[in-house]
Amino acid sequence: MDPATSNDEIAFEFLPLFRLYKDGRVDRLKGTETLPPSTDPTTGVQSKDIVLSPESGLSARIFLPKLHNPTQKLPFLLYIHGGAFVLESPSSPIYHSYLNTLTAEANVVALSIRYRRAPEHPLPAAFEDSWAAFQWAAAHSTGGGPEAWLNEHADFNRVFVAGDSAGATLAHHVVRQSAVEGVSGVNIMGAVLFHPYFRDEGPDKLLEVIYPTGGGLEDPKVYPRKDPKLGSLGVRRVLVVVAEKDFIKDRGWGYYEALKKSGWGGIVEIEETEGEDHVFHLFNPSCEKAVSLLKKVAAFMNQE
């Protein structure tokens, strides 16, 4: 074969999102735009980028709402972005904008993490990074962590974990690990899983490619419905959000039903948005249903 064309051999395509070549190159066809941290002119939310682990490259964008009392402690939110474990980042326009809005509406300090993405870093790298980010944040519970905004303004007795799509899968893993391993000084009050991407019982070529060491339906990271430890989830309340036209809607419903039957002692709710598709609230955040969903999520994070 001509060496000039051999580099263009495609190993795997997941259209319209990305293309993986046999030489290891990745073409991300969406989700590559970025925005810098800023002070949002509409909400007054400030953001900045921080490094959590120089060794792994784990980083995050932290969001601080406009403070009416400089000594006020606010709920802490760990947010994990979606994108099939392959696309997007906290600096993507859709996530930067949504975290500004959610931070202001819910009045929380939010940490949006930049985990290592597949396929360059196959799963479970993103799971490891999500848990490491939570542990890094939890180290601020005594006020002695490396990030001043968390030391001064985050209340680790009121912690929430949220994510969308693949990020919802990672968010579930964080609250599961918090029960399995334990984290001192932290009280996880709630988790919000927007349109979660869990494996179902059919073949999943994407996961086979980006998670070659995965355990399939026996792996609680991607298929929690059979997880024997699901009933000990380390969170008080869970809100599962699904959309009527989303092709993975049934996976969210299946998770909701499994959690109800698991013996877990918390409260699980499910919210289905009629007439909408996967992560519609990110792509059309000003529509009536997205605004309504934002208010519901903010209220969920402000329950006592």
Catalytic residue numbers read: 165, 246, 278
* Torsional sign, CA 72, 135, 124, 169: negative
* Residue showing tokens 């290592």: 116
Whole-number Å distance between alpha carbons of 233 and 227: 10
- Per the rule left: phi > 0, alpha: psi between -120 and 50, beta: everything else, 229 is alpha
3-state secondary structure of 294: helix
Which CA distances in Å does 114 have to 73, 87, 91, 276? Answer: 25, 11, 9, 27
Q: How many residues does the chain have?
A: 304
Measured between alpha carbons, how far is 300 from 120 in angstroms, rounded to an integer? 36
Evaluate the CA torsion angle 83, 89, 93, 94 in order and state its sign. positive
Which value, to the nearest 10 degrees, does the dihedral of the CA atoms of residues 205, 207, 212, 213 take? -140
Q: Angle at CA 280, nearest 5°, toward 12 and 76?
A: 95
- Beta bridge partners, 20, equal 12, 26
The continuous run of DSSP H or E covering 228 comes out as none
DSSP characters over 44-56: --EEEEEEEETTT
